[in-house]
Structure 1
């Protein structure tokens, strides 16, 4: 999985206003959180800067936050300390998770933030899903969010510049996405994300990173989930909407 180390310092400018705080991020998943038993064991398997993991811990869950990026893990730990949230962190990519946990350790695994496309190709994606499935207890659920890659690919290679500044903690930033769309689905694609932050003294801090990704069709994802023992229970997929959520249950 690709790192995000360069973007970790400015990652809050990439999070939507509605999910900026841990409580708000967790509230976005109220429907699935309501399915959990008391004192549930939950894994946030691509935790980023920790908003969701810390939000879940604030609800009294036993939370583990994992990420392939050491910098993201440090930011998650810092946020947990700031909000006095109790959680465990593990630096690991998806394929490494079974090295850290016994099978059937969790009631729910989250893989959100449009992260799965960083798994390398169909084989890497299947290995990631297999790892997450192994960690779920029977009847446990995987909660996954994804870009609608059918729409992304239809737009072709392009430069997307946000039409307004994003304000976080009194500072503004301009967010830019540059898409490199390969000719074929199975080929490596690229997204370059740049955040230009304007500091109080007028100086501009720019952080950018070129990220590899391997897109997938919605139907392809459904077949892969089924192949690792997960049944799609709910999906918000709409081919005309930019993103969707899938909830899949372990048989």
Structure 2
């Protein structure tokens, strides 16, 4: 079961230095943002701790931020307050989005942070994409980032321990990933992520969570985007790259 109730409290240790600032996080999507009006109505539907949502609001966009995790929604609210920005926040899973927003509401929808693999299998993923597509206006764009699961599966089950400390708010931590790679693509996979914080008194405090995920091939994602009425404009997938970005427009 994926909730991010534990990891949500320490998620900043999982964000790269280059994207920790909301301004810098939003700037990493400058190519896609350049296609939008400055006052665009956007949805960040896997908002995490809010760096992208707040960065978009700083740019003057009208921003709604949703996440299936209550902790993530709270942390996005807190970050918006810290920066004095207006972000509409609510807890909602992808399949619940049409219950909260009218069809054709948004100029752009962001689903970033490698979140789509948490959708429950091919049917759950297609349902998530259908919900997002419904909320886009015609010509609006979905911006999605993904792990390259072809590479993840090729490496197999393993333990990845970071080779450097990550410092956030004056606290150092080691980040550990434990991958459980199932025999078949369609099977449920697991990632256990642990943040081992080194307290000032020398004690180690560990927060960890076991996350469920259902991987997919890049060509499967491309086909599913077409099925929900989205035309791919950008796909940075390449063999050997850890992550990629897809931008698709509603036809």
2:181 equivalent to 1:211: no
Secondary structure of the residue aligned to 2:6 is coil
- Residues 82-104 of structure 1, C-alpha deviation per residue, up to 9 Å, x if partnerless? 11011100100000000000000
Give 3-state SS (helix, strand or coil) of 1:75's partner. helix
> Counterparts of 1:78 and 1:31 in 2: how far apart (Å)?
28
State the Cα distance separating 1:39 from its structure 2 match. Answer: 1.1
Q: Deviations over 1:32-87 (max 9, x none)?
A: 11111131100000000000000000000000000000011000000110110111
Where does the alignment leave 5 or more consecutive residues of structure 1 unmatched?
A: none
RMSD: 0.8
Deviates more, 1:66-75 or 1:195-204: 195-204
Question: TM-score, with normalisation over the residues of structure 2?
Answer: 0.99
Partner of 2:74: 74
| Equivalent-residue separation in structure 1 for 2:11 and 2:51 (angstroms) | 11
Instruction: Give the match for residue 114 of structure 2.
Output: 114
* Deviation >3 Å, runs of 4+: none
Maintained 8 Å contact 1:2/1:68:
no
Contact 2:65 2:90 in 1 (8 A): yes
Q: Aligned runs of 1:1-251 on 2, under 5 Å?
A: 2-251=2-251
Provide the rounded CA distance (Å) in 1 between the counterparts of 2:177 and 2:106: 35
Secondary structure in structure 2 of the residue aligned to 1:52? helix
| CA distance in 2 between partners of 1:200 and 1:86 (Å) | 36
| Number of corresponding residues | 251
Q: Deviations over 1:139-179 (max 9, x none)?
A: 00000000000000000000000011111122110000000
Matched-pair contact (CA < 8 Å) for 1:192–1:210: yes
Q: What SS does the corresponding residue of 2:144 show, helix, strand or coil?
A: strand
User: Aligned with 2:183: secondary structure?
Assistant: coil
- How big is the shift at 1:207? 0.4
TM-score (norm 1): 0.99
- Matched residue SS, 1:163: coil
